[in-house]
Structure 1
Amino acid sequence: MGSSAKKKKEKKKDFQKAKLKVGKTKAKAANHTDTSFKVKAIALKQQSLSTHAPTVEAQCAHQLSLLNHKSDIQRRDSLAYLTTVISTHPPGLPLPQPASVIVPAVQRLLLDGSNSVRQQMLKLIQSLPKADIASHTDSLLLHTRAAMTHLSTDIRTFALEVLEWLLSVAGDEVVSCAGGWVKTLKCFLSLLGWQAEVGSKWSAMRTYGRGASDAKVQVKQMNTLAAFLGAGLIRPTATTVIEAGTGTFPLWQTEHHVLSERSNAFAHLNLFGSTRDEEAEMYEDREDRQRVFHELAEGAIAAGIEQSTKGGGELGRAGASLRKAMKEGMVDFHRVDVL
Structure 2
Amino acid sequence: MGSSARKKKEKKKDFQKQKLKVGKTKAKADNFTDTSFKSKAIVINQQSLSTTAPSSSSQFSHYLSLASSSKTDSQRRDALSYLTTQLSSQPVNDPMPLPTAILLPKLLPLILDGTSSVRSQLLKFLRLLPAADVGDRAEQALLYTRAGMTHLAAEIRVDALAVLEWMLEVSKDDVVTCPGGWVKTLKSFMTMMGWATSGGSTNWTSASKSSFGKFAFGKAGKAFPRQLLVLAQFLKAGLAEPEDLSPAGAGVGSFPLCNREMHMIPKRANAYAHLNLFGSSRDEEGEMYIDREDRQRVFQSKFRATVEEGISTAQKEAGEAGRAAAVLSKVLREGMTDYSGIDDIDDTQ
TM > 0.5 fold call:
yes
Deviation at 1:272, TM superposition (A): 1.0
Unpaired runs of at least 5, structure 2: 1-17
Q: Alpha-carbon deviations, 1:54-83, whole Å to 9, x = none?
A: 222222222222221110011111111111
Query: How big is the shift at 1:207?
Result: 4.6
How many aligned positions are there?
Answer: 319
| 1:76 corresponding residue in structure 2 | 77
For 2:264 and 2:335, the matched residues in 1 are separated by 28
Cα separation, partners in 2 of 1:129 and 1:26, compared to 1, 3 Å: farther
Give the aligned partner of residue 230 of structure 2.
224
Distance 1:19 1:56 in 2: 71
Give the Cα separation in 2 of the matches to 1:28 and 1:82: 59
Contact 2:241/2:335, CA 8 A, preserved across alignment: yes
2:176 pairs with 1:175: yes
For each residue in 1:174-214, what CA deviation from the matched residue of structure 2 results, as whole angstroms up to 9, or x when unmatched? 11100000001111111222244566643443457352523
Name the CA distance, whole Å, in 2 between partners of 1:45 and 1:206: 59
TM-score by structure 2 length? Answer: 0.82
Tell me, in whole angstroms, the C-alpha distance in 2 between the residues paired with 1:268 and 1:206. Answer: 37
Compute the displacement of 1:166 (Å).
Answer: 0.8
Question: Structure 2: which amino acid aligns with 1:51?
Answer: T
Matched, 1:287 2:293: yes
User: Counterpart of 1:61?
Assistant: 61
Q: TM-score, normalised by structure 1?
A: 0.84
Residues 10-159 of structure 1: pairs in structure 2 closer than 5 A:
30=28, 38-66=38-66, 67-159=68-160
Q: 1:164 to 1:338 in 2, by over 3 A?
A: closer
* Alpha-carbon distance between aligned partners in 2 of 1:296 and 1:158, rounded to the nearest angstrom: 27
CA contact (8 A) 2:214 2:222 kept: no
- For structure 1, list consecutive stretches of 5 or more residues without a partner in the other structure: 1-17
Deviation at 1:255, TM superposition (A): 3.7
Does 2:183 align with 1:187? no
1:266-308 Cα deviation digits (max 9, x unpaired): 1111111111100000011111101110001101111111111
**Alignment-mate amino acid for residue 54 of structure 1:** P
Say if 2:327 is the partner of 1:321. yes
1:166, 1:174 within 8 Å by CA — same for their partners in 2?
A: yes
| Counterpart AA for 1:163 | L
Over the aligned positions, Cα root-mean-square deviation in angstroms equals 3.1
Residues 335, 244 of structure 1: CA spacing in aligned structure 2 closer, same or farther, 3 A cutoff? closer
Give 3-state SS (helix, strand or coil) of 1:202's partner.
coil
CA contact (8 A) 2:111 2:145 kept: yes
Letter in 2 for 1:211: G
Distance 1:178 1:20, change over 3 A: farther
Distance across 2 between alignment mates of 1:252 and 1:322: 38
Q: CA deviation at 1:315?
A: 1.3
Determine the C-alpha separation between the residues in 2 that align with 1:171 and 1:295: 23
Residue 312 (str. 1) matches residue 313 (str. 2): no
Q: Counterpart in 2 of 1:14?
A: none
1:205 maps to 207
Partner in structure 2 of residue 264 of structure 1: 270
Percent identity between the two aligned chains: 47
Determine the C-alpha separation between the residues in 2 that align with 1:19 and 1:326: 103
Q: In structure 2, do the counterparts of structure 1 residues 26 and 145 end up closer, same or farther at CA, with 3 Å as the change threshold?
A: farther
CA offset at residue 163 of structure 1?
A: 0.7
The secondary structure found in structure 2 opposite 1:127 is coil
Instruction: Find the aligned partners of 2:276 and 2:178 in 1 and give their Cα distance.
Output: 12
